[in-house]
Structure 1
Amino acid sequence: MIAVAVAAGGASWEAGVLEEIERSAALTLARRCVDAADLLALRDTGRAQVAVVDPQLGGLDMDAVSRLREGGIAVVGLGEVVPELGIVSAVQPGALDELAREDLRRSVRAPVKERPTSPVIAVWGPTGAPGRTSVAVELAASLSRHASTVVVDVDPHGGAVAQALGLLDEVSGLVAACRSANAGRPDEVDAAVTAVAPQLEVLTGLPRADMWTQVRPAALHAVLDRLAATHDLVVLDTGFGNEGAVGPGPARDQATIAALDRADVTVVVGRAEPLGLARLLRCLDDGSPWSAPPWVVVNHVRSSLGWSDGEIAAMVREVSGHPVRAFLPEDAHAHDTAALHGIPVREAAPTSPWVARIDRLARELWNDVGDRVASISTRK
């Protein structure tokens, strides 16, 4: 027998469906739920295998559907699918015995999701201010010379992209976009994006670190999918952690985990000093949140360190197995000037050797993903 929860919220079809389940030899009623909160209370009890829902049910959104699926409950719409909420299968009144099909329940729990193919580049790295935001912003600015690019601040510990670009961030673009996506309105994500230069746009992050709970993984995935569908390149400025939840609640790093999971290319930034390099090697050894080998970047390189680029590269390769793709020279004056005026480093110091090396890294990344962008653009 398949245990079915019915969440109709008073819809006209509820009485008929309950009678059909009662007559069925394959189904049994687990619970009649009045809203999404009532339905979510079943998630960890093991009492329901399928939830038949009214898409207009109070409180039902993408996050709720995702959490139910993670708890092993297949969510099925009564009469219609709503892909914007993650409801990808439906049954018709009078045909509820279809819920007993194992292949139907399995496909609903783990739907095959068509992902937009525009490349997503995540900039990640250990704690200790290695320069993730600076690298993400400048890479995006450089790549925007080749293709339309959006830089997204998904740092759950408090965003810095808006400040780096002199933008007001009282209202978080990321939170607004996630709310729209979570409510099944992906088209409204576009309104949360701010243009800062030709072919360069920004989705600002969290102005306060305590807002991290408002960025749900399922909604963030939908936001990134939308941005990847409307831009040629997406660059993510992520947080430093990638630890999952300790208990049943959400994880502080859930946004970073979701961003790294969605990324096609991960740029890992470390700081060129003993503690910074130790942290870099540790995260390369322990993190591994990437599907393809990461692009390792060593930032703030200076001669006073006492190690040459070759020595650092050899150490990183020996310990982690990954080559260093770029060494970015220290240029404190250029970064200070940029931060003071809220402009990219390339505008504050166009001749900075740091900018020149970022541009070379951007060209190498473009050579890696450019053909894919071109093939996508011809189909748009």
Structure 2
Amino acid sequence: MALQVFTATTGAAWESELVGALDRADHGVVVVRRFVDLADLLAAAGTGTGQAVLLSAELRRLDGDAVARLVAAGVAVVGLVEPGDDAAADRLRLLGVGRVLPADTDAAGIAAALRAAVAGPAATAGGHDVADPRAALPALGVPDDPAARPASRGRVVAVWGPTGAPGRTTVAVGLADEAARLGVATLLLDADVYGGVVAQVLGLLDESPGIAAAARQATAGTLDVPRLARLAWAVSPQLRVLTGLARADRWPELRPAAVGTVLEQARGLTALTVVDCAFCVEEDEELSFDTAAPRRNGVTTTVLEQADTVLCVSGADPVALQRTIRALGQLRDVLPGVEPVVVVNQLRRGPVPGDPEQEIGAALTRFTGARVAGFLPADRRGTDTALAAGRTLAEVADRSPLRLALRSLAAELAGVPAPGRPRRRR
């Protein structure tokens, strides 16, 4: 059966000739509709009449969100650019188009690329590297500074947990700060769509562009590593911070596909990216709409799916543990492939009888099957002092037991040796 294909161009000179060549029976491809307007293309994509689309780089109003909607509708995307137009090819790749070919590629090569796009993940075809293009972007620790590039693709750690303030932001900020103090180039990213407060915790201006500006550039296909570096605050030589939304009602500005692109660029900027996530992973928005709708929780699920490590932060009292058990069960239903690492925060004697580490560890293993990877002791005095000063725990209480536990956990996540305990002064 012939592959049914859409074309969406701006009336390029080569378009008519290409359509005629593709319609030949020996290529196994038939062009069912030709579009010059993006809105019409997106409407047709939802009807199931086309399996793939040939996109021109000059298509008006084309952005990353449109490419994501095409892919979500089951339409594979192949980009075409004028021969030698590297800028247009790079833009399509930044928008999420995995296969980009010059327009002078013969019909057989284009038909093969279309079939490969429908069949599965991107691969090399027609002599061009059409794998994930973001892996080839320059990796810069600071804008235009090749000496500061990470030696390999950076890691992403998502800090997530149930509702009820178990201390996700405290853990995320502490891990990022301690990793930076261990000499690891780190980016702290606030992706909480319900109430991100990383900027306030660190005493930064919450009106800075931050993740919203990065997402806009990602949607437009203009975000790269140097631009991401310029949007992030340089808190210390090894720590950058990309602040979150100033108001929770601005969540529609963060589309899941755009945030995914931000994470990919972050891997090239620093060796470690720590993401402060929202608590909710429900997919209830889709139940209320017959067409593609904004997904508030899609940002969180995107981060959890793309992260190399997911830390589930739990409180240490019975109510917090019950919430953690329910949240882990829901996470398995929504994202069955994600296996989080549980970290119990605010550990103290009193709420749990007996040995709290033993009792909490046994309870979580029994009801969730998860093993507790670490316990973080409660230090209300240290965290209150840090919050009041807008500084990190290491700056105001360097011998805090919570700070020492966070440092050990950060060393483990970053893959560097854990430092010894600091000596006491006489």
TM value normalised by structure 2? 0.79
Contact 1:133 1:237 (8 Å CA) reproduced: yes
The CA deviation at 1:118 is 1.8
The CA deviation at 1:131 is 0.6
CA distance 1:98–1:312, change in 2 (3 Å): same
Say whether 1:49 aligns with 2:61: no
2:101 to 66, 83, 90: 90
Match of 2:330 in 1: 286
CA distance 1:107–1:220, change in 2 (3 Å): farther
- Please, which moves more after superposition, 125-134 or 70-79? 70-79
The CA deviation at 1:93 is 5.4
- Please, which moves more after superposition, 333-342 or 225-234? 333-342
The CA deviation at 1:263 is 0.7
3-state SS in 2 of match to 1:243: coil
Contact 1:331 1:354 (8 Å CA) reproduced: yes
Contact 1:75 1:108 (8 Å CA) reproduced: no
Q: Which amino acid aligns with 2:50?
A: A
CA RMSD of aligned residues (A): 2.6
2:210 to 169, 173, 183: 173
In 2, Cα distance between equivalents of 1:63 and 1:255:
13
1:224 to 263, 275, 280: 263
Contact 1:123 1:268 (8 Å CA) reproduced: yes
3-state SS in 2 of match to 1:246: helix
In 2, Cα distance between equivalents of 1:152 and 1:309:
30
Match of 2:281 in 1: 242
The CA deviation at 1:182 is 2.1
Say whether 1:121 aligns with 2:165: no
The CA deviation at 1:206 is 1.1
The CA deviation at 1:348 is 2.7
1:359 to 407, 410, 415: 407
Contact 2:304 2:338 (8 Å CA) reproduced: no
Which residues of 2 match residues 1-380 of structure 1 at below 5 A?
1-20=2-21, 26-79=28-81, 81=89, 82-87=92-97, 88-90=99-101, 92=103, 95-96=106-107, 100-101=111-112, 103-106=115-118, 113=132, 117-146=153-182, 147-187=184-224, 188-244=227-283, 245-247=285-287, 248-288=292-332, 289=335, 293-307=339-353, 308-366=356-414, 369-370=415-416
The CA deviation at 1:364 is 3.1
Contact 2:180 2:239 (8 Å CA) reproduced: yes
In 1, Cα distance between equivalents of 2:319 and 2:410:
27
Contact 1:270 1:297 (8 Å CA) reproduced: yes
Deviations 1:268-293 (A, max 9, x none): 10111221110111222331347574
Contact 1:156 1:252 (8 Å CA) reproduced: yes
Contact 1:91 1:98 (8 Å CA) reproduced: no
- Please, which moves more after superposition, 220-229 or 286-295? 286-295
Number of equivalences: 369
Contact 2:210 2:231 (8 Å CA) reproduced: yes
The CA deviation at 1:55 is 0.6
In 1, Cα distance between equivalents of 2:374 and 2:312:
10
3-state SS in 2 of match to 1:186: coil
- Please, which moves more after superposition, 195-204 or 10-19? 10-19
In 2, Cα distance between equivalents of 1:150 and 1:93:
41
In 2, Cα distance between equivalents of 1:118 and 1:186:
17
The CA deviation at 1:107 is 5.0
| Percent of paired sites with the same residue | 39
Q: Which amino acid aligns with 1:173?
A: G
The CA deviation at 1:144 is 0.9
Contact 1:264 1:291 (8 Å CA) reproduced: no
In 2, Cα distance between equivalents of 1:94 and 1:136:
48
Q: Which amino acid aligns with 1:279?
A: R
In 1, Cα distance between equivalents of 2:199 and 2:211:
11
3-state SS in 2 of match to 1:176: helix
Contact 1:196 1:202 (8 Å CA) reproduced: yes
Contact 1:194 1:201 (8 Å CA) reproduced: yes
Match of 1:375 in 2: none
Contact 1:266 1:290 (8 Å CA) reproduced: no
Q: Which amino acid aligns with 1:246?
A: E
- Please, which moves more after superposition, 74-83 or 186-195? 74-83
Contact 2:193 2:296 (8 Å CA) reproduced: yes
In 2, Cα distance between equivalents of 1:109 and 1:204:
33
Contact 1:125 1:280 (8 Å CA) reproduced: yes
3-state SS in 2 of match to 1:250: coil
In 1, Cα distance between equivalents of 2:260 and 2:4:
30
Q: Which amino acid aligns with 1:305?
A: P
In 2, Cα distance between equivalents of 1:205 and 1:225:
17
3-state SS in 2 of match to 1:287: helix
Contact 2:57 2:81 (8 Å CA) reproduced: no
TM value normalised by structure 1? 0.88
